[in-house]
Structure 1
Amino acid sequence: MKPEHLDILQHSLGLDQNGRGTMHRDHFVTCEGGEDHAACVELVELGFMIRHANVSIFGGGDFFRVTAAGKKAAVENSPAPPKVSRSKQRYSEYLAADSSRSFGDWLRLKERQRREAAL
């Protein structure tokens, strides 16, 4: 699959560059002559999108909807996410926790919780 095809499918589905995320949408809008239009037409020919041409609600642009085959292709052709070290993963968890604690305090709390769970 061409990189521009994968980029359009991932964007249309709301996925990141590694195919991760929830598919919270399934469409792409562009006008003839637009920089992505030709690639979208190619995706239609491959069976990965369906084209609705000249849609008035989009100012006459073309509305492209991702098919089930397109969803599958986006996931299958996305590269694997990069390996994340244990320390970077732990720091990401700290940021996601959005606590008012410092990182050191958060680590001590997690260690205390781990020990209590082991009892």
Structure 2
Amino acid sequence: MNDLLHLIQHSLGLDQFGRGKQHRNYFVTGEGSTDHPICMEGVERGLMEIRRAKYELYGGDDVFAVTPAGKKWMAENSPQPPKLTRSQERYQAWLEQDSSESFGDYLRRLARKAKAQRGELAW
């Protein structure tokens, strides 16, 4: 089950906890690979479907997609992410902002903003 869960999460572009913005819905693999039987299990269970069988554009591999039932199953079976400390949450927020600002500058900006909100700074 873990292999199928991971494969569905990957097919949707999500992390191991089922988080993120779904930016795709396909998985390409062919007979003889370790992933193909997992995808076929997903098809048998109604969690995936074959969009194109032996697609020439992908070297004769099959193209699979996650069904709505597969998305629901993935959401129900994905583990909860670990609890982050405040420091880890700040670091994660800095990573997600995707800017050229250094982490130190980001922390200083947060501190100035907090002081301003408490009325300790006169801008």
What is the aligned-residue identity percentage?
Answer: 47
RMSD of the alignment, in Å?
A: 1.9
Tell me which residue corresponds to 2:22.
23
Counterpart amino acid of residue 93 in structure 2 = E
Length-normalised TM-score, structure 2: 0.82
Distance 1:27 1:103 in 2: 37
Matched, 1:68 2:61: no
Preserved CA contact (<8 Å) 1:94 1:106: no
3-state SS in 1 of match to 2:118: helix
1:109 CA displacement:
1.2
Aligned residues: 115
Distance 1:89 1:113, change over 3 A: farther
Alignment of 1:1-119 (within 5 A): 2-51=1-50, 52-97=52-97, 98=99, 99-100=101-102, 102=105, 105-116=108-119
Normalization by structure 1: what TM-score?
A: 0.85
Distance 1:8-1:96 versus aligned 2 partners, 3 A rule: closer
Q: Distance in 2 between matches of 1:94 and 1:65?
A: 33
* Residues 114 and 90 of structure 1, relative CA distance in 2, 3 Å threshold: farther
Q: Closer, same or farther in 2 for the Cα pair 1:88/1:43, shift >3 Å?
A: same
Determine helix, strand or coil for the equivalent of 1:25: coil
Q: Structure 1 stretches (4+) deviating beyond 2 angstroms?
A: 90-108
- Given the superposition, is the C-alpha separation of residues 105 and 18 from structure 1 closer, same or farther in structure 2, using an over 3 Å criterion? same
CA contact (8 A) 1:15 1:22 kept: yes
Q: Which runs of 5+ in 1 are unaligned?
A: none
Q: Which sections of structure 2, spanning at least 5 residues, go unmatched? A: none
* Shift in Å, 1:74: 1.2
- Counterpart of 1:106, as a letter, is R
Instruction: Tell me, yes or no, if the aligned pair for 1:29 and 1:62 is still in contact at 8 Å.
Output: yes
> Which amino acid is 1:75 matched to?
A
